[in-house]
Structure 1
Amino acid sequence: MKRYLLGSVACLLLVSNAPAPDAAPEYDIVIRGGRVLDGAGNPWVRADIAVKNGRVVHVGKIAGRGTREIDATGRYVSPGFIDMMDQSGGVLLENGDAENKLRMGVTTVIAGEGGTPVDAAEISNYFKKLESQGISVNFGTYYASHQAREKIMGDAAGAPTPAQLEAMQGEVRTAMHAGVFGITSALIYPPSSFQTTADLVSLAKVAGQCNGFYATHMRDESAKLVPAIEEAIEIGEKGGVKVEIFHLKAAYAPEWGKLMPQAVAAINAARARGVDVAADLYPYTAGGTGLEITAPTWVWADGVEKGIARLRDPKQRERMKKDLAAGSMPGWSNLVHASGGWSNVRLANGFSAKYAQYHGQTFDKIGAALKRDPADAAWDILLEGLPNRSVALYFMINEKDIETALHQPWTSIGSDAAASVKLGGMDALGLPHPRAYGTFPRVIAEYVKRRPILSLEDAVRKMTGWPAQRMGLSDRGLIRDGMHADIVIFDLAKLDDVASWEKPTALPTGIDTVIVNGAVTIEGGKHTGARKGEVLRHSCGD
């Protein structure tokens, strides 16, 4: 018996992988014993992860020791989440921490719906400044097509001359060679809405020469959703670019449950014939945008200054109210109508002490309190808040349509929110929408835990491996040897988005460790001060 026990002990010593306590560390970090989700949609495996020089160097049983040892027993370990529709291009210059993003598990953001905060010629310097100041998340961006338009021909309506269009193409070319991922449009907002399909095809062709994207906030996300999708697909086909549809939604109360299946069918049909089109979305029933969208597009046709003057004119307002009551019209997406009326539109931020007491209230109630037509109340608040952009929440989305979109294998997740200058405050857009603090935890908490719409593996894939593949980030989005060490450790039982319409800046729970390029950036739920994020430049072949 004694010989048998000694033999067993010897055998155990031979097969043990535990590092010797006095051995020099072989790795920077070793994460031990977690349930590893690789980001590709595969079932989790229990494994250790070794990180060195910012990269994952081994996944499996790690014998060597790390300078940092992290015990992930009982928790899940996944790639860092990728925000496919971020708005942080400007605020990162002011504060690179992006802590509200990191607290959601986001390690990479793709910005640029509204463009870059600098002209095309300054993008290279802008990227260098971000790098020199330091950022805590990886950052990539698009360049907006309307930026080129405004620089060449101003903010009024009108068709560009051939020379003007050529000059716009030059701006796009400069931006692409600086490293942007493609061009964007935001076609419900003037002056972007003044661009024709042909104009956008001409600009997309330049992005296509660099294997870039045409990413779009479409011309209509409401009654004419399907024609808007078809326009985006047409631009992609004729321009030779990949198409990304921003925040896919069927934002039209009269057609809930009908439009989204039609939209999905249109995208699937395009993919079946070889169009590289996909979409992202946020998991909320309300969108958030400026009050200027409640005015018909003709108000802004001669530029912003004349548009403001029209808003002050009682006679012009009467015409505007008639258009509001008539519903959407060519070139204008009537979000009040899409939401089912002013009773489903809430003031989020009026940027004015005069109207602060009405934040969170619907415009029918605000109008009643002020003894004003709800439209007049909205436009009064818009004017009072200038030069800031007063914003509202438009409850125009149905949960069943969100579920339909989430079920599609080609959808990813984008918050449509910016980083906050200060944690616990509104995002840099000044919009108190829970998506700035809750989007990514909510995908798991709501659609994996509370409602079994997605498997955990597929939810993580939509936020990691798929968007990385989509954007051509071949060394991110997966936990595999050689990949950048962007990693999130979370407790599934405790994971909750917390942020709500009433408390939109509440912090999520269950995510206490976030690693960016091998640097522990969130630890114990707090920012460590690390700024190891990288600027992600799209290659144009030069």
Structure 2
Amino acid sequence: MGCAGAAAALSTLPAVAKPQGDARILFREVRLVDGTGVPSRLADVIVQGDRIATIAPPSARSSNFRGRRIEGEGRILAPGFIDTHAHGDPLEQSFEPFLAMGVTTVVLGQDGSGPRVVGRSGPNRDLRSWMKAVETAGIDINVATLSSHGTLRRVVDIPDSVRRPDADGLQRMAAQLDAELRAGSYGLSYGLEYVPGIYSETAELTRLGQVVSRYGGVVMSHMRSEDDDIIDRSIEELIASSLPARPHISHLKVIYGKGEKRARQLLDFMAEKRRQGIDLTADAYPYLAGYTGVAILFPQWALPPTDYGKVLAERRQELRDYLGKRMIKRGGPGALLFGTKPYVGKTVEQAAAEAGMHFADFLVQIGPGAGAGAHFTMDEKLQDTLLLDPFVAIATDGAPGIRHPRSAGTYAKWIEEFVVKRRLLPMEEAIRKASGLPAHIMRFADRGVIKVGAKADLNLFDPAKIRARSTYADPGLLAEGFDLVMVNGVPAFEGGHRIGVAGRLLRATARSGGRKV
């Protein structure tokens, strides 16, 4: 799960750059990797306004072109990357770190917690008011959104502690979800390891999945558990609560699992579901640490809205024992690196030592609301195998400002390490998993692939120069090597800097699973 952090305010963004109908740009003799997975080819590509106007073999006649000419010089022209799992709010933050690594579209509303116009009550709590605000603001990246299960609960005044909403509560949630889907939400997200999703039961989720299915939407879930021994059951729950809507696994990973063999077993399990006719997909990121709150270490009975003071008074030793065992199982106190104050940059082990405490006592003291950090809980061979599966898209689970390198490095690392250095897959497949596949998952009809008539979201780069510079110590360092990133026909990032703002709110088309802008 990503957490929004400090980032550039929108007031610092340049004015929105709207493409003119006669504005023309020629990409001359580029190596075209179109996002479908087919072999690359040399081509001349002409952009007019916000769309791709022409794709043709290189021609000497292009010397007569009137407009801006960009020479390929051996570089790749690829679709803008589509991040199917991101966090943050473009009304409050710049997504420049995403643009710098080739991302032109992000999907928000993840993990059951969605954006809203904050600090207000009544209708402004509704996702629709946020969408209207985004639509009229200058945003630097394309944004699509899901409705969010936990936020739906809160909007219709179902307390977090309620495990089984009554019929009236379920109807209010379903009606709110229906309204948001009609307004252009692309589906629904669950956060079943977080409050309040952790308290929900399958019957509640199934009721909402049925609403999503009427709109051809997708149900994305941070599942009930990612632990090795029960992840299969978590996937079964996602499927059961989604159908007949499309189920999608957010940030696919296996906690405690190890090795390629275990990854193959899980992928075979998912493939069998697809053979049964279930359109099951997933996304993942190329890092071995997740990023989420320390609350994930705590048992349900110690989480909000439970009175934590009462827990300490009555069950302190039980809680200490639980946290000690869970932290050891998750790699020990050195495997959680804080990304929030006052312990930022320190592991639990280091922070506890400075406090002169055993790490379990330290966790009891700071409590489940103490912040977030990077949790190093994954196995490299297992995760690499999952990443390479053709039905797993590449996503960040990042946000502007969080202290995890994935928010500024995911797609650069994907190309630099998996394609150029380790040669684990061809460039065409790597680009498809970052563009065409996520476009298919979201049912974006005119983004994610380079074709005539598609929106001109484009990346121009030399693979040999791609560098993921962000680290856990300095996670905000921008990626290098993406020479030009175009959003809706407007150069948005060029020469290492954001230069234009042309992002748009994307809205799904009701009852079609498609989208409109």
Match of 1:481 in 2: 452
Report if the CA contact (8 A) 1:27-1:50 is conserved: no
Deviation (angstroms), 1:122: 3.0
Which of 329, 332, 340 lines up with 1:341 in the alignment? 332
Match of 1:115 in 2: 113
Which of 404, 415, 420 lines up with 1:444 in the alignment? 415
SS in 2 for 1:538: strand
Pairwise CA RMSD of aligned residues?
2.1
Deviation (angstroms), 1:34: 1.5
Q: Which runs of 5+ in 1 are unaligned?
A: 1-24, 328-335, 421-426
Match of 1:46 in 2: 42
Q: Distance in 1 between matches of 2:92 and 2:146?
A: 20
Q: Distance in 2 between matches of 1:197 and 1:138?
A: 33
Report if the CA contact (8 A) 1:512-1:526 is conserved: no
Match of 1:414 in 2: 395
Match of 1:498 in 2: 469
Q: Distance in 2 between matches of 1:326 and 1:377?
A: 14
1:188 lines up with 2:185 in the alignment? no
Q: For 1:254-403, list aligned pairs within 5 A.
A: 255-257=258-260, 259-300=262-303, 303-304=304-305, 306-310=306-310, 313=312, 315-325=314-324, 327=326, 336-349=327-340, 351-352=341-342, 355=343, 359-381=344-366, 390-403=371-384
Seen in structure 2, the aligned counterparts of structure 1 residues 184 and 307 have a Cα distance that, compared at 3 Å, is: farther
Q: Which amino acid aligns with 2:79?
A: P
Match of 1:332 in 2: none
Q: For 1:113-192, list aligned pairs within 5 A.
A: 113=110, 114-118=112-116, 122-150=126-154, 151-192=156-197
Deviation (angstroms), 1:54: 0.6
1:235 lines up with 2:234 in the alignment? no
Seen in structure 2, the aligned counterparts of structure 1 residues 382 and 101 have a Cα distance that, compared at 3 Å, is: farther
Deviation (angstroms), 1:107: 0.3
Report if the CA contact (8 A) 2:253-2:378 is conserved: yes
Deviation (angstroms), 1:536: 0.9
Q: Which runs of 5+ in 2 are unaligned?
A: 1-20, 117-122, 513-517
Seen in structure 2, the aligned counterparts of structure 1 residues 371 and 26 have a Cα distance that, compared at 3 Å, is: closer
Report if the CA contact (8 A) 1:213-1:242 is conserved: yes
Q: How many residues align?
A: 479
Match of 2:51 in 1: 55
Seen in structure 2, the aligned counterparts of structure 1 residues 26 and 130 have a Cα distance that, compared at 3 Å, is: closer
Which of 483, 494, 497 lines up with 1:526 in the alignment? 497
Seen in structure 2, the aligned counterparts of structure 1 residues 466 and 120 have a Cα distance that, compared at 3 Å, is: farther
Report if the CA contact (8 A) 2:205-2:242 is conserved: no
Q: Percent same amino acid at aligned positions?
A: 31
Q: Distance in 2 between matches of 1:361 and 1:116?
A: 29
Match of 1:87 in 2: 87
SS in 2 for 1:210: coil
Which of 14, 17, 26 lines up with 1:30 in the alignment? 26
Seen in structure 2, the aligned counterparts of structure 1 residues 377 and 121 have a Cα distance that, compared at 3 Å, is: closer
Deviation (angstroms), 1:215: 0.6
Q: Which amino acid aligns with 2:323?
A: L
Q: Distance in 1 between matches of 2:194 and 2:284?
A: 19
SS in 2 for 1:275: coil
Deviation (angstroms), 1:317: 2.9
Deviation (angstroms), 1:26: 7.2
Report if the CA contact (8 A) 1:256-1:397 is conserved: no
Q: Distance in 1 between matches of 2:241 and 2:448?
A: 28
Match of 2:100 in 1: 103
SS in 2 for 1:479: coil
Deviations 1:409-433 (A, max 9, x none): 1110110111x3xxxxxx2xxx310
Report if the CA contact (8 A) 2:163-2:201 is conserved: no
Which of 454, 459, 473 lines up with 2:430 in the alignment? 459
TM-score, normalised to structure 1, is 0.84
SS in 2 for 1:283: coil
SS in 2 for 1:512: strand
